[in-house]
Structure 1
Amino acid sequence: MSKFGQIRNYNQERGFGFISVGEAGKDIFFHIKDFPKGIIPQVGEQLKFEIVQDGNKIKAVNIVRLDYPSEHDVYKQPERFSAPSIRRNSNYRDKSSSKPNSTFSTLLKILCLAIFAYFAGGYIQNLLHRQKLSNQEVNQQTLRDANRYAVSSETQNFKCDGRIHCSQMNSKAEADWFVKNCPGTKMDGDSDGDACENDSRW
């Protein structure tokens, strides 16, 4: 089942990031090797994707970029305005307008070349970046870094609001944050800093 969301953050050096689907504490992990080729993932970019289980984690796959043209569109775009097409159209015009048409054709070619160069340059740069990252395994260090990013993004939404029991928490990260930052909580009976450790939900 397809889901929709937007990129919340992306670590270009490590090649992973998180997609926000509009639910607090529910950001979805993605890796660059599962991302469409082209422009580097942008924060706030809208995506369509599917979710799969990867070991003890879930991640996004079959990602579709909704804010950018696909790789096929990038390379087809200059062909729409190619010189043969312009010449065919010019056959239907009056010969007296051939000089203005020639000027327009030249300008159009320059514009198409500029558009092609812009997209092709970005594509090549990101293809090299993707190849480098695709050769890297999603190892334990990457997963630890991803977890640290996830916890960091989750805690930005937490605040002390009077809740003190495990049953009132929405996630393990939230429970740990409340124990460390909010007074009067009753979620860490042995005071070891590990909140709700017997809660079967986590």
Structure 2
Amino acid sequence: MKGKIIRWVDDRGFGFIKSQSLHGDVFAHVSKFQPGYRRPIVGDEVEFQLDYRAHKLSASHVQLIGVEPLKSHPLNTLLSILFLGAIVAGLYFFVIEPELHPAYRDMGFSCQGKTYCSQMTSCDEAKFYLATCPNVKIDGDRDGIPCERQFCGW
């Protein structure tokens, strides 16, 4: 449905739309407008859907007609770059096989999702997992020696 904003109270974030198809004005809240555009002003033409759930007739999915989207704010660009950087770092550390410590390079072990000492077969495997695999729970006292009671201690 199409209409025109006839009243707008910007500091309160609402106004009213007049449509030729309806009798009476339609309430419109700023939260129902398509994001990425400037705030509405009196005289803007809009396209919208009616929302009958409220006690009064109101607009939803409101789009400004003939108004260009805002240019991306530099802060949004920075946040996007930081987000992409976090994804790349996550891929590097958790998906791409990390460069092995020289002591474990020729042992034939690989990260296969083991997390507990009961899943390990030797002290060497436990040391490999502690040094190279994420989310292991094999060094309870955090002294750098894994699976002390099962393989690598006493």
Q: What is the TM-score normalised by the length of structure 1?
A: 0.33
Which of 1 and 2 has greater Rg? 2
Higher normalized contact order (CA 8 Å, seq sep 6+, divided by chain length) = 1
Q: What is the TM-score normalised by the length of structure 2?
A: 0.42
